Structure 1
Amino acid sequence: MIFLKTPLSSILGIGPKFVSKLKKLGVETVKDLLWHFPTRYEDFSQIYKIADLIPKQQATVQGIIKKISGRRAWHRRLYIVEAFIKDSSGSIKAVWFNQPYIKNILQVGRLANFSGKVVDSDEPYLSNPIYELVNKYENWETKHTARIVPIYSETKGLTSKGLRYLIKPLLEETQKIPEVLPLEILKKQCLPEINKALKNIHFPHNLSEALLAKKRFAFEDLFLLQLSNLKQRLKLAREKAPAIDINLPELKKLIGQLPFELTPSQKKSLWEIIQDLNKPRPMNRLLQGDVGSGKTIIAAIAALRTAEAGCQTAFMAPTEILASQHYQTLIKFFPKFEKGLALLTGSEAKVYYGKGLETEMKKSELYKKISVQKIAIIIGTHALIQKTVRFPKLALVIVDEQHRFGVSQRASLIRRSTQTNTQINADYTKTQTTTENFLFKDLTYKIRGAIFEVSNKIGLGLKENIYSKALIIEFKKRNINFTTEKSISINYNNENIGTYRPDFIIDNKVILEIKALPFIGKIEEKQIWSYLKGSDYKLALLVNFGSKELNIKRIIHDKSYVNLRESGSSLRESALILPHFLSMSATPIPRTLNLTIFGDLDLSLITELPKNRKPIITKIVAPENREKAYQFIRDQIKKGRQAFVICPRIEPTQTKTDYTQTKTEIPYESVLSPRKSMLLWETKAVKTEYEKLSKKIFPDLKVAMLHGKMKPKEKEKTMSAFAKTAKEKDKNKRIDILVSTSVVEVGVDVSNATIMMIEGTERFGLAQLYQFRGRVGRGEHQSYCLLFTDSAAKTTQQRLKSIVEAKNGFELAEKDLKIRGPGEFFGEAQTGLPDLAMKALQNPELVKAAREAAREMLRSDPALEKHPLLSEQLIRFQTQIHFE
């Protein structure tokens, strides 16, 4: 019997070459392969007579092979195989490129099916058809032709046909898979159970079966995602946070210092945030607003109110340029703030004390000032999450563009306040808090993730020492601290009565025992519980790699934890004091994705721009009008304005299509004589554009370059000079045009810049293009965005037209979701969310159904104790997803 966790390398018939090719697709176990779902289907279910074929049609024909031959074309590396197929109505030629082995497989006189595209030519032919020999005398089902045929994501040397050969027998021989979704949910949603769905997603009898199977797997992932979000909300509702006094007179005083009036949605968002800060449980809110809508000011006011309450704020930005800009914004609008405003990045550390007093200092000095609460607001980059940075009274964490930070980075910043024994809320009674609360839940998730990975890769039924060695490798890979050498003292009445040496001690907090028994019972659990009782350790994980299933038992000996579970009030009293969390984002995200991806966050929207802001005029510029665009830029600079030029790459690169290496469809006639040229194009690059613009197009203007490979101080100097150009009297220090990569995508504010010229727009996501456009239009002058593309593709033109017509980022996001799908915002590689679920995010009804099912489940079974398989699947899912 074959199991899901069985490595493909141990299955008869799957050789080392196949295994190495499958690894390139991320496929190593039976489960990986069965969950390698088709990306699309070809409908070859109807067999046509050759005489009835229509050009450009995808069709299947069945006929006798009358002739087959192979030859080299004009290019000696291009090999063509041609076969002539005949049925009762006529004959047709089939053509394959660079597949010489076909000549040895298809034999003259054999009956076979051929499925492919009919190419319109003087003499129509089948281009690169799938073929399958037919045996009419057996009860035989086709895999590749005369049916709905699955097409998969492929890799070099491994085609969809090869994958079908592997998957078909595995579906029949693999042990029946237990269903994780409750039966009542499947019934209510009219979805097939998992084994039927697996068969139908790979080899459906019709397209309806395939679509329903896809829906079932998409629903499962959406359901797990919603369960995860809702459980996080429930957990936060039980946590404690410092309650920041609203103090309306002080709040109005702060707002009154601004030289402009807040927009209605700014006021609404600010009030939502202030109300959340006033509650004794952690705020978990996303502040979303259009580019230039004034999110930073709202976050700044929240930070200032937190400071007035005697607490600290950590404000993290994704780049040094943006962190510095936020720092300058707070100084500009609140120059009288005297409680300490610091900037901490990889390259600098400085503090503003109010009334124009600012000083640079060593980082070690700044760390000390933060640790003794001399600094109320700390703005920085990843530098804020160093272990040397300690916040004794961290009450608010603000993260700008949260999806640009890893989950571990955000969590690390939030935990900075929970790693001390100081109570951060001055209004609370002083009680000692430690990171051991909730018994290392984050750590156990990491451990479980490593255990599941080992189980998936090497399967079950091996010896204990094999699993121990594999876990050592996996722990090292995941940076999980462990030891296998430590013995624990067992005490009785404060006297040592012996020692106990577990298989692993993780992070000096969790004991891990490994077994490989047919099953584990109460004896093994009691033994470990007794060891815990006589030691200073509180938690152990007992893991059994059984012959049939993996089992993980959580064993606890901690009176305070037992009391916490028995009393909700005790839980609230003993829980960690966590800071409030505010995420800011200008990335336009459709409502459906917001509710799903950020379902654990409350949402505040800033929906309008400040008054007197002129709309940006956006134009798609045809290649023949490039010189006119350059002249327009020159005219604007003569008026004292500045321009951005954005390129997709730093270094130039060349990409060419070499037809001699392809097996895909190419024009048959084109291989009969040499092509005049191969396709060759160059991606626009910062360095080459900088050379061209500075020396050939604008030799009389000051052109500068900015990209990610420059040193932080170089970038800072360039960006600072560009931002100060409007006030700079020395012409040598001015920058008229800045040629840059996407490093300027987020947050950079230069009010005098009025032109955004974007090269290679087809290589950027629509959300990115919108962010670029938002770098201009921040001053009093009319601004322009010029879009250049070498692509004539319909989708590209449609996307660019959307950005020209869109009134705001949210409208644009909805259009982009329809055009390109959710991957534009959060791709599978970025989130860990499977592809089917990503596509399902476009279906509001399915998202809503998954959310309702998750709510219903948690109402009836909050801890999922009645659904152990679902609980285990949720843990696996949570180790997989990461919205970064």
Structure 2
Amino acid sequence: MNDLNKEIQFVKGIGPKRAEKLHKLNIFTLKDLIYYFPRQYEDRSKVKKINQLENEEKVTIKGVITRMDSYSPKKGMNIIRMDMRDDTGYIKLSFFNQEYIKRAFKSGDSIVVFGKVKIENNFKEFVPIEIEHYSSKPQSNCKIEPVYPLTYGLSNKELQGIIRSVLTKEEFKVKEYLPTYILEKYKLCGIDFAVRNIHSPSNKEALKIALYRLVFEEFLILQLGLFYFKNGVNESSGIEFKENEKLNDIIESLPFKLTKAQNRALSEITQDMTSSKVMNRLVQGDVGSGKTVVALLALASAVLNGYQGALMAPTEILASQHYDSFKEILERFNIKSELLVGSLTKKQKEKVLEKVKNQEVDILIGTHSLIEDKVEFKNLGIVITDEQHRFGVRQRGRLSNKGDSPDILVMTATPIPRTLALILYGDLDISIIDELPPGRQPIETIAIEHKRRNEAYENLVRSEVQKGRQVYVVCPLVEESEKIEATAASELVEELKREFFSDLRVGLLHGKMRPAEKDAIMDDFKNKKLDILVSTTVIEVGVNVPNATLMIIENAERFGLAQLHQLRGRVGRGNHKSYCILIYNSKTEVCKERMAIMEETTDGFKISQKDLEIRGPGEFFGTRQHGLPELKVANIFKHIKILKQAQLEARYIIGQDRRLQLKENQKIKEEILYKFSEREEISLN
């Protein structure tokens, strides 16, 4: 029973049909099941007498059934009424369409019920959630009850029962994998105790002890994995670049003056590059703050020292855009840039690869193509990943392994709160570009309900186009499927042409298009051959069209705040007043709060902080994007002290055992492999 890798359908009592439901929750093995933790708990241990009950409280009561009857007010509805008493009084209970109650209970039975109290004009009623016969060991009531995230066709009670049936088997035990010295040093309970008490807490104290162990473990595994894969705490000798006067000539030749924030970031990068240690730096900057030019200057600095540089971008559109701007600025200084993307022909790729190998190329810009085995640099000195959250941990490592300890710079336009940066980039120095170039006008954001959608199209869009400006319309995020989103975007184009803009030039851009098609559409938009561009979120990153002044986002409630902010950043890039219209179709308080935040501020750091608070670390992370294991119980706000302890311990372990080869660290290594391989194929050899 201790084979945690056993497929879930072969676990006794589950079978193929139940397994199918569990698969929807990403539960495929026994280990997935026992690590599928509750999202919250109902405290049913609070037992009250009937005369102590208060309106609207959720509580457990015990007593005896004094009367039971049932009736059907209309077809398809059956109501069971029950009178119950204890030694302080009587109360009425009502059950709707629960026929089994008649068979399971009768007058005179002792029962224990958990539910909600309703008191109106001194009339007390109890709305039951859970009822069972009174016994010395109640199944659900009189204890702390876990509440799980669920899927259609699977109830909380059923999932609870499945997990409980596994944990109560005599032979079942979760084997410990943390070294004894860590358990003792941080006063952690064993993993078996933690797993049992996270699912079925014997009391509040046991739950607290179990949570502490699991929170610490999640942070420790996460940090160790990051340090391991990203060459964290890398004190090894790197390239000691020299400052070169020609870099100032390049800066002087730029068509704009660097902002103070850009100069500060460049100074921090130069300091790292001229030191003897490998640079590991993150450049964080809000949308449009000018990170790309800082990257360009860092790459130029390496080239002026006789080395090559590489820049990896997440999309071909962005890679091509970088290539064009690098070429325009650096060619006159005899610095040669080349582009390596999937859409090149085999012959074109081979030509680029040959030039890179012979150092006839100084800066290679591309997408994931850069990490292919065929790509060989002669003398790689610096690697940069742009919008780095789009790349997995291993992908970034593979790029830096193409050189001999090259300097590493990662850039993101997704502002990340300090607390979250501690997790994602605990091993990196951070530079922040928190200033927009002069001349940029703030973008005015207006959130409107779906019923006012036509106004936005009939008035605002037409008004901007008449001024000679251009418009983006972002299609709603349907689900994680490019095919479905492409269909939705195509349908939206047809609707706009039919209903509103038969006289305007409307283009379409989505992820299922071939790279050459995407480039052609973007070129048409840049060259003002299109008035309106309907797009999926492929335009979220880096697209730069200064003449576009209006962004309309359909079904804005489906996007995270950070993503809405990224999309909004596609406008406001020129000297004209720009607008972002968020059309939402939800009346929930959370939706209204999110829309209000977008209207109030264009500060990406404030927005991401709010996003993190509203959505929680698990969802905000976009762990699927980051290539990181999910945080199931750890919360970076509530558990910041534990996070810092786990980071210190992770640094210590890696410092003592860089490759995690010591006997006491073998099981930790296996756990890292399991947790990180959920997201990416990672080898720890």
Shift of 1:224: 2.8
Tell me how far apart the structure 1 counterparts of residues 309 and 114 of structure 2 sit (CA, whole Å): 64
Does the alignment pair 1:613 with 2:409? Answer: no
CA offset digits 1:781-837 (Å, max 9, x no partner) = 111111111111111111121222234211211122222212343145554534335
Does the alignment pair 1:644 with 2:454? Answer: no
- The one-letter code matched in structure 1 to 2:111 is A
SS at match of 2:268: helix
Change in Cα spacing, 1:742 to 1:72, as seen in structure 2 (3 Å) is: farther
Pick aligned residue for 1:213 from 203, 206, 210: 210
2:537 corresponds to: 742
Tell me how far apart the structure 1 counterparts of residues 552 and 664 of structure 2 sit (CA, whole Å): 54
Tell me how far apart the structure 1 counterparts of residues 255 and 103 of structure 2 sit (CA, whole Å): 81
Tell me how far apart the structure 1 counterparts of residues 173 and 203 of structure 2 sit (CA, whole Å): 23
SS at match of 1:835: coil
SS at match of 1:237: coil
Change in Cα spacing, 1:72 to 1:221, as seen in structure 2 (3 Å) is: farther
Pick aligned residue for 2:520 from 717, 723, 741: 717
Shift of 1:393: 2.1
Does the alignment pair 1:586 with 2:425? Answer: no
- What TM-score, normalized by structure 1, do the two folds share? 0.69
Shift of 1:266: 1.0
1:490 corresponds to: none
SS at match of 1:604: strand
Checking the alignment, whether the CA contact within 8 Å between 2:560 and 2:611 is kept in structure 1 is: no
Name the stretch that deviates more: 4-13 or 604-613.
4-13
CA offset digits 1:312-366 (Å, max 9, x no partner) = 222111111111111121133334143421122222479xxxxxxxxxx733222
CA offset digits 1:269-290 (Å, max 9, x no partner) = 1122233333454322211111
Tell me how far apart the structure 2 counterparts of residues 633 and 293 of structure 1 sit (CA, whole Å): 27
SS at match of 1:621: strand
Pick aligned residue for 1:839 from 617, 635, 639: 635
Tell me how far apart the structure 2 counterparts of residues 7 and 738 of structure 1 sit (CA, whole Å): 47
1:661 corresponds to: none
Checking the alignment, whether the CA contact within 8 Å between 2:64 and 2:111 is kept in structure 1 is: yes
Checking the alignment, whether the CA contact within 8 Å between 2:2 and 2:173 is kept in structure 1 is: no
Tell me how far apart the structure 1 counterparts of residues 293 and 77 of structure 2 sit (CA, whole Å): 65
Tell me how far apart the structure 1 counterparts of residues 125 and 4 of structure 2 sit (CA, whole Å): 42
Change in Cα spacing, 1:259 to 1:301, as seen in structure 2 (3 Å) is: same
Does the alignment pair 1:365 with 2:160? Answer: no
2:645 corresponds to: 849
CA offset digits 1:53-78 (Å, max 9, x no partner) = 5554323333445436586965xxx6
CA offset digits 1:103-145 (Å, max 9, x no partner) = 544456533323234578999866572222223xxxx322311
Change in Cα spacing, 1:319 to 1:607, as seen in structure 2 (3 Å) is: same
CA offset digits 1:607-642 (Å, max 9, x no partner) = 111122221111222445444433123222222211
State how 1:510-521 maps to structure 2 within 5 Å. Answer: none
Checking the alignment, whether the CA contact within 8 Å between 2:239 and 2:406 is kept in structure 1 is: yes
Shift of 1:377: 1.3
CA radius of gyration, larger in? 1
Does the alignment pair 1:814 with 2:609? Answer: yes
Checking the alignment, whether the CA contact within 8 Å between 2:235 and 2:278 is kept in structure 1 is: no
Tell me how far apart the structure 1 counterparts of residues 659 and 349 of structure 2 sit (CA, whole Å): 45
Does the alignment pair 1:877 with 2:672? Answer: yes
Checking the alignment, whether the CA contact within 8 Å between 2:486 and 2:511 is kept in structure 1 is: no
State how 1:348-427 maps to structure 2 within 5 Å. Answer: 348=344, 362-417=348-403
Does the alignment pair 1:269 with 2:265? Answer: yes
Change in Cα spacing, 1:347 to 1:152, as seen in structure 2 (3 Å) is: same
**In the comparison of the two structures, how many residue pairs are matched?**
669
Checking the alignment, whether the CA contact within 8 Å between 2:552 and 2:582 is kept in structure 1 is: yes
1:110 corresponds to: 109
Change in Cα spacing, 1:722 to 1:301, as seen in structure 2 (3 Å) is: same
C-alpha RMSD over aligned residues? 3.6
Tell me how far apart the structure 2 counterparts of residues 810 and 235 of structure 1 sit (CA, whole Å): 25
Does the alignment pair 1:785 with 2:580? Answer: yes
Change in Cα spacing, 1:130 to 1:869, as seen in structure 2 (3 Å) is: farther
2:495 corresponds to: 692
Shift of 1:237: 3.1
Tell me how far apart the structure 2 counterparts of residues 742 and 580 of structure 1 sit (CA, whole Å): 31
Tell me how far apart the structure 1 counterparts of residues 99 and 292 of structure 2 sit (CA, whole Å): 63
SS at match of 2:219: helix
Checking the alignment, whether the CA contact within 8 Å between 2:56 and 2:118 is kept in structure 1 is: yes
CA offset digits 1:133-190 (Å, max 9, x no partner) = 223xxxx322311222111233455433233334446545356655545666556656
SS at match of 2:472: strand
Can you give the 5+ residue segments of structure 1 that lack an aligned partner in the other structure?
Answer: 351-360, 418-576, 654-681, 726-733
SS at match of 2:234: helix
Change in Cα spacing, 1:155 to 1:608, as seen in structure 2 (3 Å) is: same
Does the alignment pair 1:311 with 2:307? Answer: yes
Tell me how far apart the structure 2 counterparts of residues 51 and 611 of structure 1 sit (CA, whole Å): 69
Shift of 1:768: 0.4
CA offset digits 1:245-304 (Å, max 9, x no partner) = 322x12211111112111122112112223333345432221111100001101111112
2:683 corresponds to: none
Tell me how far apart the structure 1 counterparts of residues 230 and 487 of structure 2 sit (CA, whole Å): 45
Tell me how far apart the structure 2 counterparts of residues 851 and 750 of structure 1 sit (CA, whole Å): 42
SS at match of 1:409: helix
SS at match of 2:667: helix
Tell me how far apart the structure 2 counterparts of residues 124 and 737 of structure 1 sit (CA, whole Å): 61
1:470 corresponds to: none
- The one-letter code matched in structure 1 to 2:40 is R
SS at match of 1:881: helix
- The one-letter code matched in structure 2 to 1:690 is V
Identity score, percent: 40
Tell me how far apart the structure 2 counterparts of residues 870 and 120 of structure 1 sit (CA, whole Å): 59
